[in-house]
Structures are given as structure tokens and as C-alpha cells.
Chain A
Amino acid sequence: MSDVTQTRHVPDRLNSRAARIFKSWEALLLAVAIAIFVINSFASPYFLSAWNLSDATFNFTEKAMIAFAMALLIISGEIDLSVASIIALASTAMGLALQYGAGTSELVIIGLTVGVLCGAFNGFFVTVLGLPSIVVTIGTMSLFRGISFIILGDDAFRGYPSSFSWFGQGYIYWVFTVEMLFFVIIAIIYGVLLHKTNFGRAVYAIGNNPTAALFSGIRVDRVKFILFLLTGLMSGIAAVCLTSRLGSTRPSIATGMELEVVTMVVLGGVNILGGSGTIPGVVIAAFVMGLVTFGLGLLNVPGIVMSIFIGLLLIGVIALPRLWAMVAARRKS
């Protein structure tokens, strides 16, 4: 600004971008991810193998697809606990369609459509009826999976066409899987959507202060409805990938995955109460969780014990900074 007469000029930014990125949650998380990577490569000789690492990505790619949409939803102040059940219902619908001779493209369309419809169902209860999303999605969590149980009972759908297996088992090039490609594309789309568009700005505004957002002319309910649709759609995509990878559908498919998705989002620095968080954070969190699970797996640590680490990680990443702040405040006074 060449305007010298300006008495009280307010600068655009105080801290440089680099300084802020350096001090961010994402930077800390990235350091954790690198540390885990290094520890793992020392702990197990099998870790640093391209094929093993490629296999490891299956630990998180499907969850991360949902986590991106969930991140937006949580930033806006809502939550969807029914995502794993949407996977079950979408997978069951695909299995049912298979019985009537659906081909790969029909299966995918059906899976995605069911996902979107489930999202719309959640969105209707939350935005039109104005009910709290946590209760609604605890309800639909039972309902969606319940429908799968009604249809399937103890049975399973099998015999998916071989072309269908491309989604969950295919490779694009060398060790790079189809799911990795989906993961990268979806991460970029959500990164742009949240950080570079008016829609993303609206999501932040709603999460920080829904009343002020409404008063600012943002169509709050419409934005939230779209977010539920997106979460449903991502669950549908995850259902296609997971069903393709497993090659079968059982009603218990993806049980408990909603918790891992929420953990991933929170670990990624998204405030569970809404208002803040970034997509790069969720991407790094996905890698952290994938690396921890994979590394412990190589050390023959059973899955259930890994969940202790995930749980500790979830609480620890939130508790430690707060503890640190409390200690610092006490030392000051």
C-alpha cells in the first residue's frame, strides 16, 4: 500500500504462511507419522517392502474416503455414526441386485445410490425435522444394518463378477492400487471443496456459529443436507471398494468402522465440536493410523490390542496439548 496518509492501516496477515504451517497440528502429526515410519522400519525387516506397504494402504483407504466427508460434517457441527451401517446396506443391496443378474456397472450405480439415499434419510431427519444428528444416526445405524440383517440373516452374498473385483483388488501401476487412486482423487476433491470454495467457507461458518451463518444469508440447512448426502455417497463408494475387496457381503460387514472413521477425523485435528480442521490433517491421520496398524501387525500384535493404541492416540492427541497448556499456565502463576 502506497497510501501514506492512512493512519490506522490494518495489515492483512501478521504471521507468514510458513510460520503458521510450521506451528500447526498437521506439522506435529506429520512428525508423528514420520517417527512411526522410522520406528517401524527398524522394528521389522519386512516393513520397508513396496508390496507390504502397498498392502498396508488397504488399512485406511476405505475409511479415509468416508473420513473426508465426515470431516466436513463434523466441522459443520454434525456427525454421522451410521456410515458403517450404510456400507452394510449398500453392500447388501448390491448383493441382492447380483441375485437378479446385475452387472458390474449396475452394481456400482446401486451401491452409490443406496449410499446417497441413506445420506438423504439422515439429512432429512437432521435438517427438516431439526433433530440432533448424534441421536438420528445412532438410530439409523441400527436401522440400516438391521435391514441388512433382515435381508441376509446368517447368509452371505457371494459370486461377484470378476470385473467387479477391480475396485478393491485392482492395481493401476506396479504397487499402486485402484483404491489408492480413489483415495488421492477424493482427498484432492475434498481439499479443494473445503479450502478453496464458498461452500467450504460456509461449512466453517456454520460450525463456528450456525446462527450468525444463518443471519449472514447462508442456507444452513441446505449445506448440512448436502454434507449428509456426500457422507452417504462416500460410504457408498467405500461399500463398492470393500465388497469388491472381500468378494462377499455379510450383514456384519464393516462393523465398528464408524468409530475408526471418527477417530481418524479427530486425530487429523478436526474439532469434534465443529468449526475447525483441515483435509491435509485427515490425510496425515489416515497414514498415521494405517502405519500403526500395519507396523503392529508385522510384529504379530493382534488387532484388538492395536485398538488400544488407536484409543490412546485418540485421547492422547487431544489431552496432551491441553495438559501442556495447563502445566504452562500453572508455571506462569
Chain B
Amino acid sequence: MTRLIPVRETILGGAILVLLLLISSRFADFVAPSNLANVFNDTAPLIILALGQMVVILTRCIDLSVAANLALTGMAVAMINVAMPGLPIPVIIAIAVLLGAIMGAINGVLVWKLAIPPIVVTLGTMTIFRGIIFLISDGKWVNSHEMSPAFTDFPRMVLLGLPVLSWAAIITIVLFGIMMARTQFGRSIFAVGGNPHAAVYTGIDVGKTQFWAFVVSGALAGLTGYLWVSRFAVAYVDIAGGFELEVVAACVIGGISIAGGIGSVGGAVLGAIFLGVVKNALPVVNISPFWQLAISGSAILIAVAFNARAGRNKGRIILKEAEATQ
């Protein structure tokens, strides 16, 4: 009676701990609470996006447009800020989330109503969103001196010892924990991905659930768009280029099955943190940051091979003795 999901999370959590121990054996400063808080803060955008991506992957889809969505929303709110410096930050955030959600909804409608494969839809919208950034910005950068101080300071503001950016990730994690475990939508997501055929019998609309998954992913990409642009205090066409792959990588490393239906909030978060620790540790242990890409690639391959092995052997078992020894 072993539950697979916690096992997976424990192993991944253990791997992160071992990694931290190895680093700390030579560079004790890395595991100092303040540095760990920095690592978490640095990883916050990845965590938020990974949670959105998780929901999409659980419903047997994939969203490759998140990074482009993030960049477009980021550029849009930065330009709004330049045009209207007085606009309060909550309004900016609301706009970002709304814009992101609309872009997610575009993906979702194409998948739901026209039944176009998600990978095609999001490959297409990914290039379209990037192109639109160029159109609205004319290829120009929005730099820090053009942005209002309130705009750029918000994610850095410290509350109870942690910056707002970190809190945004923590709140997202908590909300997702509740959503996945305790709401009809959360359970439907697992049902749709785990057994779409049965979901129909249960009265769950598969396409509609996928649509809302894309909206959730898009809204989080929008939120991250503001946080990203304000944190780095710059907006341009190519920000977060290729970040969608890191997001998918975090999910895969976190044990979310690309075939849908299997995965957990904890897994996605740990997957993102694993990548964040690796990324932040490389310069500390004097390995060229150019190693990062290869390491995350290897981590994906190891994780997917491992998860596939763990998930196997669930066929029907007919021999009574074999069932008894399980």
C-alpha cells in the first residue's frame, strides 16, 4: 500500500538535500539561511510558472507559450507604467493577470473548441506573442529610469523578512495546494488527465477543464510577467527567452507525467527548486554557468527515466499468488 507520489517527492527532496550538503561541505556560506532565501527568491518565478504548467500537463496538454506570454505581459505593463506612472501597483498586477489569462484563454479556446493539438497551438502563439511585443514596443527597450520607483520596488519590498517576490511564490503554492486537493476543479484536472474516457462518464467536460487549465497557466504567466520586468527593471522582446523549457523541465523533474493525470504541487515546486539550486550553486562551486543547460537536460532525462520505471508494473495481475506477494 505504498503511495507513489509522496515517494517521488521524498526522493527528489532527498536529492536536493544531498546536493545542498555536498555544496556546503566546501562552501558553507551557500546554506546560510540568508543565501537560501536568496536562492528561493531567485527561483520564485520558475516555481509560479511550474505550478501553472503542472495544471496544463496534468490535463494532457502542454503550454509552450508561457515565456512569451510573460514577456508580452511584462512589456505591456512596463509601457503602461511609463505612460501612466501614477497607476497603483495593485491595478498593474490586476492588468498583468488579466492579460495573461486572456492569452491563456486564446490557447484554451483553440484546444477546446477547435481540438487543435496543444503543442501546435502553443508553438504558434509563442511566436505570435513574441512578435506582438516587437510590434507594440517597436523593438525598443523599456529601461529602469523610465519605470516608476513604485513599479520596480514592489517585488523587492520586504515583508516579514522575505521579499514580495518570494511571498508571491509562497502564496501561489498555498493556493495551488488548496485548489488541487480541495476543489472540484482540482480533482477534475486529475480525472481528465488520468482517464478522460471515465471523466466523460462522470459528467466532467474534458475540453472545458483543459480550457481553464490554460487560463490558470496564462494568468500565472501574466503575474510573473510583471514580477520579472519589475525585478530586473527592464523590458525587451527577448526577456525569458527559452524559459518555457525550463518550466517544463521543472515539471518533468518534479515527477509530473507528460501523459497526464500524475503529479503533485509538491513535485512541481521541488522540481523548480532543484533547478534553482543548481543554477545558483554553479558559480559558487566555480563551475562555469555554461554547465547549467547540460545539467538541467540530464536531470530531465534521469527524472523521466526514473518516473517511468516507478510507474510501471501496474498491469492486471491474474495469478492469485502474485497478487498475494504484492
CB distance from A221 to the nearest CB of B (A): 15
Binding stretch for chain A, among B24-32, B95-103, B113-121 = B113-121
> Are B123 and A263 within 8 A (Cβ)?
yes
> Are B131 and A305 within 8 A (Cβ)?
yes
CB distance from B219 to the nearest CB of A (A): 21
B127 contacts the other chain (Cβ, under 8 Å)?
yes
Other-chain residue from A142, A146, A304, A326 in contact with B131 (beta carbon distance below 8 A): A304
A308 contacts the other chain (Cβ, under 8 Å)?
yes
**Which residues of the partner chain A approach B120 to less than 8 Å between Cβ atoms?**
266, 272, 314-315, 318
> Are A272 and B117 within 8 A (Cβ)?
yes
A11 contacts the other chain (Cβ, under 8 Å)?
no
Could you tell me which residues of chain A, from 274 to 333, have a CB within 8 Å of some CB in chain B? 302, 304-308, 310-312, 314-315, 318-319, 322-323, 326
CB distance from A303 to the nearest CB of B (A): 9
CB distance from B137 to the nearest CB of A (A): 10
A149 contacts the other chain (Cβ, under 8 Å)?
yes
For B118, give the chain A residue with the smallest CB separation: A272
B223 contacts the other chain (Cβ, under 8 Å)?
no
Q: How many residues of B contact A (CB 8 A)?
A: 44
Other-chain residue from A251, A305, A312 in contact with B124 (beta carbon distance below 8 A): A312
> Are B127 and A307 within 8 A (Cβ)?
yes
> Are A145 and B301 within 8 A (Cβ)?
no
A125 contacts the other chain (Cβ, under 8 Å)?
yes
Binding stretch for chain A, among B4-12, B152-160, B164-172, B291-299 = B291-299
Could you tell me which residues of chain B, from 241 to 269, have a CB within 8 Å of some CB in chain A? 242, 245, 248-249, 252, 258-259
B290 contacts the other chain (Cβ, under 8 Å)?
yes
Q: How far is the CA of A259 from the CA of B249 in the complex (A)?
A: 17
> Are B117 and A273 within 8 A (Cβ)?
yes
A141 contacts the other chain (Cβ, under 8 Å)?
yes
> Are B301 and A136 within 8 A (Cβ)?
yes
**Which residues of the partner chain B approach A103 to less than 8 Å between Cβ atoms?**
none
A153 contacts the other chain (Cβ, under 8 Å)?
yes
> Are B258 and A135 within 8 A (Cβ)?
yes
> Are B127 and A142 within 8 A (Cβ)?
no
For B290, give the chain A residue with the smallest CB separation: A149
> Are B127 and A262 within 8 A (Cβ)?
no
> Are A319 and B301 within 8 A (Cβ)?
no
Other-chain residue from B110, B237, B245 in contact with A304 (beta carbon distance below 8 A): B237
A322 in contact with B115 given A143-B298, A314-B120, A314-B123 (CB within 8 Å): yes
CB distance from B244 to the nearest CB of A (A): 10
> Are B304 and A142 within 8 A (Cβ)?
no
B224 contacts the other chain (Cβ, under 8 Å)?
no
Q: How far is the CA of A319 from the CA of B62 in the complex (A)?
A: 18
**Which residues of the partner chain A approach B258 to less than 8 Å between Cβ atoms?**
132, 134-135
A144 contacts the other chain (Cβ, under 8 Å)?
yes
CB distance from A257 to the nearest CB of B (A): 13
B141 contacts the other chain (Cβ, under 8 Å)?
no
Residues 143-157 of A, flagged 1 when their CB comes within 8 A of B and 0 if not, give 111110110110000
**Which residues of the partner chain A approach B139 to less than 8 Å between Cβ atoms?**
302, 304
**Which residues of the partner chain B approach A323 to less than 8 Å between Cβ atoms?**
114
Q: How far is the CA of A262 from the CA of B119 in the complex (A)?
A: 10
A129 contacts the other chain (Cβ, under 8 Å)?
yes
Residues 112-144 of A, flagged 1 when their CB comes within 8 A of B and 0 if not, give 000000000000010001111011101111111
> Are A146 and B291 within 8 A (Cβ)?
yes
> Are B305 and A310 within 8 A (Cβ)?
no
> Are B252 and A139 within 8 A (Cβ)?
yes
**Which residues of the partner chain B approach A308 to less than 8 Å between Cβ atoms?**
127-128, 131-132, 135
CB distance from A78 to the nearest CB of B (A): 12
Residues 39-75 of A, flagged 1 when their CB comes within 8 A of B and 0 if not, give 0000000000000000000000000000000000000
Other-chain residue from A136, A141, A263 in contact with B245 (beta carbon distance below 8 A): A141
B94 contacts the other chain (Cβ, under 8 Å)?
no
**Which residues of the partner chain B approach A143 to less than 8 Å between Cβ atoms?**
293-294, 297-298, 300-301
CB distance from A276 to the nearest CB of B (A): 13
For B293, give the chain A residue with the smallest CB separation: A146
> Are A305 and B291 within 8 A (Cβ)?
no
> Are B127 and A319 within 8 A (Cβ)?
no
> Are A142 and B245 within 8 A (Cβ)?
yes
CB distance from B240 to the nearest CB of A (A): 14
Q: How far is the CA of A323 from the CA of B245 in the complex (A)?
A: 31
B130 contacts the other chain (Cβ, under 8 Å)?
yes
Other-chain residue from A147, A251, A312 in contact with B128 (beta carbon distance below 8 A): A312
Q: What are 16 A-B interface contacts by the 8 Å CB criterion?
A: A129-B308, A134-B62, A138-B300, A142-B294, A149-B293, A149-B294, A259-B123, A262-B123, A272-B120, A302-B139, A304-B131, A307-B130, A310-B127, A315-B128, A319-B114, A322-B116
Chain A residues packing against B (C-beta within 8 Å): 79, 125, 129-132, 134-136, 138-147, 149-150, 152-153, 251, 255, 259, 262-263, 266, 272-273, 302, 304-308, 310-312, 314-315, 318-319, 322-323, 326
7 closest pairs, A vs B, by CB? A146-B294, A142-B297, A143-B297, A308-B131, A146-B293, A139-B300, A311-B127
Given contacts A150-B288, A259-B126, A318-B116, 12 further A-B contacts (CB under 8 A): A125-B305, A129-B305, A129-B308, A139-B297, A141-B245, A146-B292, A149-B290, A304-B237, A307-B131, A314-B127, A315-B110, A315-B116
Chain B residues packing against A (C-beta within 8 Å): 62, 110, 114-117, 119-121, 123-128, 130-132, 134-135, 139, 237, 242, 245, 248-249, 252, 258-259, 288, 290-298, 300-301, 304-305, 308
